[in-house]
Amino acid sequence: MGKGKYYITTAIAYTSGKPHIGNTYEIILADAIARYKRAEGYDVWFQTGTDEHGQKIQEKAELAGITPKQFVDEVAGEVKRIWDLVDSSYDSFVRTTDEDHEACVKKIFKKLYDKGDIYKSSYEGLYCTPCESFWTESQLADGKCPDCGREVKPAKEEAYFFKMSKYADRLIEHINTHPEFIQPVSRKNEMMNNFLLPGLQDLCVSRTSFTWGVQVDFDPKHVVYVWLDALTNYITKIGYDPDGSNEMFKKNWPADLHLIGKDIVRFHTIYWPIFLMALDLPLPKQVFGHPWLLQGGEKMSKSKGNVIYADDLVDLFGVDATRYFVLHEMPFENDGIITWDLVIERFNSDLANILGNLVNRTVSMSNKYFGGIVKSTGAAEEVDADLKAVVTGTQAKVAEKMDKLRVADAISEVFALFRRCNKYIDETTPWVLAKDEGKQERLAEVLYNLTESITIGASLLHSFLPATAERIAAQLNTELRSLDELDKFGLYESGKKVTETPEILFARLDAKEVLPKVEAIRNAQKAEYEAEQARLNGGVSEEKQDEAVIDIESKEEITYDDFMKMQFQVGEIIACEAVEKSKKLLCSQVKIGSQVKQIVSGIRKDYSPEEMVGKKVMVLVNLKPAKLAGVLSEGMLLCAEDAEGNLALVAPEKPMPSGAEIC
């Protein structure tokens, strides 16, 4: 019996470039949730797509020498290709350049204006182009965008504004009375403490300094703020219309789950709910801000050739191995790590050994000992009971994890079932039973139990690794089962024959063969990056151009005596961690000679804590201690900064001992 509708969305991908594996993780995560909800009996509508307007898109198109529409057509096609490549089962792929969406955005803007929630004024402040966000001076972090850490630029223009404060109290009450609305709880606390409780300012919702966007039809020199345009896709593409919505909208809204990255929680839990309140629409039931998938050990950068893309992973490991890695390695709340070495390790240990070897051994033994016939004989022993208890109890555990969106934990429960099957083989030793003619019925029962257990495990696996689950079922000559049958043991038809030649699901990989291919991918990325930068900069690479043109404003001259007051030494970072109350600070323990100093630095966007450990750095040692974000700092690490605000630690050119004086 159906359980009703379930409407799930991802954030729509911004069409500034090809999505990397961190972006692709979101669509795979959403797909696993959508598939599981379908299996539970829900009527699922799964929506994704691309966000295609804004100043950054216009600027990128101009640099590429094409129109913005040509630019987004190309990138949107690439996004859709990758979403399809990873076997995502979305029902709708939205583009914000779709005519029906743009027409509805214009109606929404006019409705809010007519209602008095939008008014015309002028804006003078600070704007971050990459984030498409306005900021006041007090909201900046060390003079830079608090979200991405990049430079902001002064902006002054006529604009329309939305009266955010009108709905702030109502939103605060909703969040307080609906604890499930923002998940995980840490995201809720951040939104309340950093934005809502201090007080909301009116939001600028139009621009006149660029043209690539949805025009305000009653004032055509204005285009609609990209976030108002983008967020409304969740209702426009399921049939919302201010003049009268269709049955599809009435069926599916409110959304059951907005699945988004943690960096855009503010837009989805403050701006979007307030827009909906102004439209007299119910709020989505839940917004889940998932963590990030980070490149381990170093910052992801095309110039380094270390950006990991889903299509490269699929080429080397296959679709389901790619899905398994990102689903399994992402904790519920904390960031996950991806490296090529770790992918190889997980592939071999989990997919090849635990799962692939289990299926292969079971099918092979059935063929070797009984000509492929799997038969229940009733020759049970005590060890069987524990296997059956684990296998039939797994569905309830998976359901409990999936209800809480703990997808990594859910897939771990499925693999715990497969581990138990492998242990059962070791406990029952079928190869020993095969040598004893009096144990043939017991041997048949063992192989039946394994076949039945794997069938249940494959049925549970289907939401996460659909192709693999279907391949397992085909080898066992059976169908995947519905979730409500998975607490019952013994439904595999006795007397069935498995495939004669077992298929290798996941052949073990040799890192020595894979890593040269990885190096080729990295080199190709570097070459592509260099060629692109040379083209954009008139034949000069970005690095060389930056070296030639970076100038900074001169500061007041100091005397030799002033300089001699400063003590610089070489330090070695022996430990490092992120500062809990800051998005940009790292706290390092720095060994300088025989002492250790604690130094807080605003370099979190350029270095991970793991990357910092072991580095030799140059330190201003005798800086007066001060507290940053509540953490004591006893010195300063020296860094260089390029024109884009990227930082690089200054380090000695040759090996130098900790404590060496810099003079």
Digit-coded pLDDT (tens) for 6-50: 999 999 999 988 999 989 999 999 999 999 999 999 999 999 999
The confidence band for 614, taking pLDDT boundaries of 50, 70 and 90, is confident
Query: Do 348 and 438 belong to one domain?
Result: yes
Give the residue with greater pLDDT, 545 vs 32. Answer: 32
Query: Torsion angle of alpha carbons 309, 313, 316, 319, nearest 10°?
Result: -130
Q: For residue 330, give the amino acid letter.
A: M
The confidence band for 544, taking pLDDT boundaries of 50, 70 and 90, is very low
What domain range includes position 461?
339-497
pLDDT at residue number 412: 97
Average pLDDT on 401-413 reads: 97
Cα-Cα-Cα-Cα dihedral sign, residues 396, 348, 430, 477: positive
Query: Do 396 and 456 belong to one domain?
Result: yes
Query: Do 533 and 567 belong to one domain?
Result: no
Residue 198, preceding bond cis, omega within 30 degrees? no
The confidence band for 52, taking pLDDT boundaries of 50, 70 and 90, is very high
CA distances from 460 to 217, 411, 452, 468, 472 (A): 51, 9, 13, 11, 12
Average pLDDT on 317-340 reads: 92
Residue 254, preceding bond cis, omega within 30 degrees? yes
pLDDT at 542 over 60: no
Is 630 inside a domain boundary? yes
Predicted confidence (pLDDT) per residue in 349-405, tens digit:
999 999 999 999 999 999 999 999 999 999 999 999 999 999 999 999 999 999 999
CATH number at residue 648: 2.40.50.140
Q: Please, are residues 415 and 391 in contact by the beta-carbon 8 Å criterion?
A: no
pLDDT at 539 over 60: no
Query: Do 540 and 401 belong to one domain?
Result: no
Average pLDDT on 635-641 reads: 90
Query: Do 385 and 452 belong to one domain?
Result: yes
pLDDT at residue number 618: 92
Kindly state the percentage of the chain with pLDDT values over 90.
71
Is 588 inside a domain boundary? yes
Across the chain, mean pLDDT equals 91
Is 593 inside a domain boundary? yes
Query: Do 349 and 481 belong to one domain?
Result: yes
Average pLDDT on 305-320 reads: 94
Q: Please, are residues 372 and 518 in contact by the beta-carbon 8 Å criterion?
A: no
pLDDT at residue number 643: 62
Is 33 inside a domain boundary? no
Average pLDDT on 557-567 reads: 74
pLDDT at residue number 630: 78
pLDDT at 536 over 90: no
Q: In sequence order, what DSSP letters do the residues of 311-349 get, joined into one string?
A: HHHHHHH-HHHHHHHHHHH--SSSPEEE-HHHHHHHIII
Q: Please, are residues 363 and 475 in contact by the beta-carbon 8 Å criterion?
A: yes
pLDDT at residue number 549: 47
Is 650 inside a domain boundary? yes
Kindly state the percentage of the chain with pLDDT values over 70.
95
Predicted confidence (pLDDT) per residue in 157-206, tens digit:
899 999 999 999 999 999 999 999 999 999 999 999 999 999 999 999 99
Residue 596 neighbours by CB distance under 10 Å: 16
Range in 300-304, 402-406, 632-636 with the lowest mean pLDDT: 300-304
Query: Do 535 and 415 belong to one domain?
Result: no
pLDDT at residue number 128: 85
pLDDT at 553 over 60: no
What ranges in 462-584 are assigned the alpha helix state H?
466-475, 511-536, 542-549, 560-564
Compute the residue count for the chain. 663
Range in 323-327, 333-337, 409-413 with the lowest mean pLDDT: 333-337
* 129 Cβ contact partners less than 8 Å away, ≥ 6 residues apart: 55, 56, 59, 153
pLDDT at residue number 564: 74
Give the residue with greater pLDDT, 530 vs 549. Answer: 530
B/e letters for 178-195, b = 16+ CB within 10 Å, e = fewer, are: eeebbbbeebbebbbeeb
pLDDT at residue number 538: 58
Query: Do 359 and 464 belong to one domain?
Result: yes
Is 644 inside a domain boundary? yes
pLDDT at residue number 96: 98
Predicted confidence (pLDDT) per residue in 580-611, tens digit:
878 788 999 998 987 889 999 989 888 888 78
Angle, helices 55-64 vs 68-85, to 10°: value is: 100
pLDDT at residue number 293: 84
Is 423 inside a domain boundary? yes
The confidence band for 1, taking pLDDT boundaries of 50, 70 and 90, is low
User: Residue 500's closest CA among 373, 375, 355, 359?
Assistant: 373
Is 299 inside a domain boundary? no
pLDDT at residue number 190: 92
Query: Do 594 and 649 belong to one domain?
Result: yes
Q: In sequence order, what DSSP letters do the residues of 216-281 get, joined into one string?
A: -TTSTT-EE-HHHHHHTHHHHTTT--TT---HHHHHHPSPSEEEEEGGGHHIIIIIHHHHHHHTT-
Give the residue with greater pLDDT, 595 vs 551. Answer: 595
pLDDT at residue number 550: 53
pLDDT at 545 over 50: no
Average pLDDT on 636-644 reads: 82
Q: Please, are residues 156 and 137 in contact by the beta-carbon 8 Å criterion?
A: no
Give, for 621, the enclosing helix (H) or strand (E).
none
pLDDT at residue number 397: 98
Predicted confidence (pLDDT) per residue in 482-498, tens digit:
999 999 999 999 999 99
Give the residue with greater pLDDT, 332 vs 553. Answer: 332
Query: Do 564 and 630 belong to one domain?
Result: yes
pLDDT at residue number 170: 97
Alpha carbon distance 575, 579 (integer Å): 13
Query: Do 542 and 637 belong to one domain?
Result: no
- Residue in this structure with the two tokens 């970005």, named with its chain if needed: 542
Helix, coil or strand: residue 120: strand
Q: Please, are residues 258 and 180 in contact by the beta-carbon 8 Å criterion?
A: no
CATH number at residue 412: 1.10.730.10
pLDDT at residue number 110: 98
DSSP 8-state code for residue 54: S
pLDDT at residue number 563: 75
Q: For residue 7, give the amino acid letter.
A: Y
Query: Do 355 and 478 belong to one domain?
Result: yes
- Residue in this structure with the two tokens 């989505």, named with its chain if needed: 284
Q: Based on the structure, what is the number of domains in the chain?
A: 3
Q: For residue 376, give the amino acid letter.
A: S
Q: Please, are residues 141 and 101 in contact by the beta-carbon 8 Å criterion?
A: no
